[in-house]
Amino acid sequence: MDIENMVQNSALLKAREGKGGRRKGRSWKWRDMLCFPNISQCKDLASSMERNYYSLCVIQPIGQELFWLFCQSRPELKNHVQLLHDLNSFEALFDSDRKDYGTLLTTSSVFLQSVQCVLAVANHEQSCRESLERGPCEDVFHTLHNYLSGEPFSQYQDSMYFDRFLQWKMLEKQPITKRTFRHYRLLGKGGFGEVWACQVRATGMMYACKKLEKTHVKARRGESMALNEKEILEEMNSRFVVNLAYAYQTKNSLCLVLTMMNGGDLKFHIQQMEKKGLAEDRVRFYAAEVCCGLLHLHQKSILYRDMKPENILLDDNGHIRISDLGLAVKLSDGRRAKGRVGTLYYMAPEVISDQKYGMSADWWGLGCLIYEMTTGRSPFRAPKEHPNNSEMERRITSTDEEYSMKFSHEAKNLCTKLLTKDPKQRLGCLVSGEKEVKSHPFFQQINFRMLEAGVIEAPFKPDPRLVYCQDVQDIDEFLPVKGVVLDQTDNEFYATFSTGSNPIPWQNELIETRCFEELNVFGPNGTRTQDLEQ
């Protein structure tokens, strides 16, 4: 056992545990780092900000918190947010409890009072009652939001709660540098640089920092690829895809700060199993979460193109996320992709034969993944076998994969349908659309609504005392390329890339680490405590 590795691992473990400590991993100066600017400094922001109700009060997490605090301070609006809150809770309930909850809601005074204010006018009460007893009612949501986006939203913008929102937005826009983070051990190596564990000094939040060496990017003309990866990551807002919290630069590298995944990748976990291959319940769980991640990408017209066990990472609780979006492409307006991109073992036949392709390639990838999770090997290659490229291409395009006894009837049926050579006949690509994957009998036990709400427990939880990485000394060093000169054009590109905090993940970080609630106090009569202190 190497001393250096032990030292680095114990530093990382300590930082991870710091989350539960007295200051929860925050710097002793954390309050200064998150000190609100005076409201007079927020004027420019106030005048330039787009006043969109959904963005400001529904989508942005801190925005929603403050808007709700505003509503709670108004007797006539209190019930409305309470009802919104209760409606949100529907997502986390078992199907069998939803009817009772709906009934309970409709008979409660909260429902009556807010419905009488808002809906009865629109003659909705009876139909809402009925549909609420079946599940959350879209009509109620819409009517409530429509109402709140009118007069209440404009009053909110004149309140101290909105001033506070502007102050938070100013903090969000603070410049991000390497001093924003503490840096821990090397986690892995990629094509353009290294991935390191890091922790935000102000909040204690842990992240993975993917560095792209500027000299490498330039020498290999990787600028548009790097920017593509950053812009796609930036759009991600799913618990099943790695999210981007910050993008910044240092003297030598461009940095993408990503959701920290401590539990190792699926390749590692598949190979850990003595019999090579995971139990069916685990396969089903991971496959279902990957399926949700793929649907999130596809809804945003993004094709992933890199499905393989190494790219599926586990978090502390054993949930997975899709990672490494370096090969992903945005296919707007039904455009299709071209190009033999990905890892050969997992490439779909239409990609290999160099045709144009769409989302079909990812559904093939999911088939390969389920196959490999079940048997411990990819469908067209024996373990440790290294067929040459043309042999691999021949097998993928013209031979049928074999199914051992490890496959249940449903698992085999699902894999066969996903590994259909003709993309037009493949599950996920038929006229009935992508939902058909979720409704395959293999997933019968999975409640996708609850899975999306994050209330299903994972079948396996990684050991919190372990560091699921290669030893530091086994990860090859990444040397800068010599003789590459960085000029003004490069600097312009770096500036475009380094956009700082990404609003939704940043706001979630502040809420999750409880920095938001500790700082967001208002003094008596609406005075701002921080103003008084200053």
CA distance to 115, 130, 147, per residue, from 141 (Å): 11, 14, 10
Cβ proximity to ligand ADP: between 12 and 119 the closer is: 12
Binding site for ligand ADP (CB under 6 A): 187-188, 190-192, 195, 208, 210, 242, 258-261, 313, 323-324, 326
The distance of closest approach from Cβ of residue 8 to ligand ADP in the complex, given in angstroms and rounded to an integer, is 14
The answer for 343, left when phi > 0, alpha when psi is -120 to 50, beta otherwise, is beta
The distance of closest approach from Cβ of residue 475 to ligand ADP in the complex, given in angstroms and rounded to an integer, is 9
Cβ proximity to ligand ADP: between 255 and 437 the closer is: 255
**CA-CA-CA-CA dihedral for 442, 444, 449, 455, to nearest 10:** -90
Cβ proximity to ligand ADP: between 187 and 392 the closer is: 187
Q: What is the identity of the amino acid at 489?
A: T
The Cα 460–Cα 476 span in angstroms is: 30
Q: What is the identity of the amino acid at 473?
A: Q
CA angle 525, 57, 532 (to 5 degrees): 25
Token look-up 């396996």 returns 460
The distance of closest approach from Cβ of residue 17 to ligand ADP in the complex, given in angstroms and rounded to an integer, is 17
Reference 8, options 477, 476, 473; nearest CA is 473
Interface with Mg ion (CB under 5 A), residue total 2
Token look-up 């990382």 returns 12
* Range 154-162, long-range pairs (CB < 8 A, 24+ positions): 155/70, 155/74, 156/57, 156/67, 156/70, 156/71, 157/51, 159/70, 160/522, 160/526, 160/528, 161/66, 161/67, 161/69, 161/70, 161/73, 162/66, 162/70
Cβ proximity to ligand ADP: between 268 and 403 the closer is: 268
What does 313 bind: ligand ADP, Mg ion, none (CB cut-off 5 to 8 Å by kind)?
ligand ADP
Task: Enter the tokens of residue 395.
Answer: 């097998």
What does 245 bind: ligand ADP, Mg ion, none (CB cut-off 5 to 8 Å by kind)?
none
* Burial tier of 20 (Cβ tally within 10 Å: 0-12, 13-18, 19+): exposed
**CA pseudo-torsion sign 277, 278, 284, 289:** negative
251 is in an annotated binding site: no
What does 374 bind: Mg ion, ligand ADP, none (CB cut-off 5 to 8 Å by kind)?
none
Cβ proximity to ligand ADP: between 156 and 196 the closer is: 196
What does 242 bind: ligand ADP, Mg ion, none (CB cut-off 5 to 8 Å by kind)?
ligand ADP
Among 86, 306, 315, 362, which one carries the catalytic annotation?
306
The distance of closest approach from Cβ of residue 303 to Mg ion in the complex, given in angstroms and rounded to an integer, is 14
What does 208 bind: Mg ion, ligand ADP, none (CB cut-off 5 to 8 Å by kind)?
ligand ADP
What does 515 bind: ligand ADP, Mg ion, none (CB cut-off 5 to 8 Å by kind)?
none
Cβ proximity to ligand ADP: between 36 and 240 the closer is: 240
Closest residue to ligand ADP, judged by C-beta, is: 190
Per CB under 5 A, does 194 bind Mg ion? no
Q: What is the identity of the amino acid at 183?
A: H
SS3 call for 444: coil
Mark whether 362 is an active-site residue.
no
Binding track, positions 325-364, relative to Mg ion; x by CB under 5 A: -x--------------------------------------
Residue 177, CA atoms < 13 Å, CB-side half-sphere: 3
The distance of closest approach from Cβ of residue 190 to ligand ADP in the complex, given in angstroms and rounded to an integer, is 2
What does 243 bind: ligand ADP, Mg ion, none (CB cut-off 5 to 8 Å by kind)?
none
Reference 323, options 187, 427, 428; nearest CA is 187
Token look-up 């691992």 returns 9
How many DSSP H helices and E strands does the chain contain?
26, 10
The distance of closest approach from Cβ of residue 478 to ligand ADP in the complex, given in angstroms and rounded to an integer, is 10
Interface of this chain with Mg ion, residues 303 to 332, rule: CB under 5 A: 324, 326
Cβ proximity to ligand ADP: between 8 and 79 the closer is: 8
Closest residue to Mg ion, judged by C-beta, is: 326
The distance of closest approach from Cβ of residue 265 to ligand ADP in the complex, given in angstroms and rounded to an integer, is 6
Residue 13: CB atoms within 10 A of its CB come to 17
Cβ proximity to ligand ADP: between 125 and 362 the closer is: 362
Strand-pair partners of 194:
189
What does 260 bind: ligand ADP, Mg ion, none (CB cut-off 5 to 8 Å by kind)?
ligand ADP
CA distance to 43, 62, 161, 253, 495, per residue, from 48 (Å): 9, 19, 18, 31, 21
The distance of closest approach from Cβ of residue 470 to ligand ADP in the complex, given in angstroms and rounded to an integer, is 8
**CA pseudo-torsion sign 407, 409, 414, 417:** positive
Residue 476: CB atoms within 10 A of its CB come to 9
User: Binding site for ATP: which residues?
Assistant: 210
Catalytic residues: 306
Which residues contribute to the site for Mg ion (CB under 5 A)? 324, 326
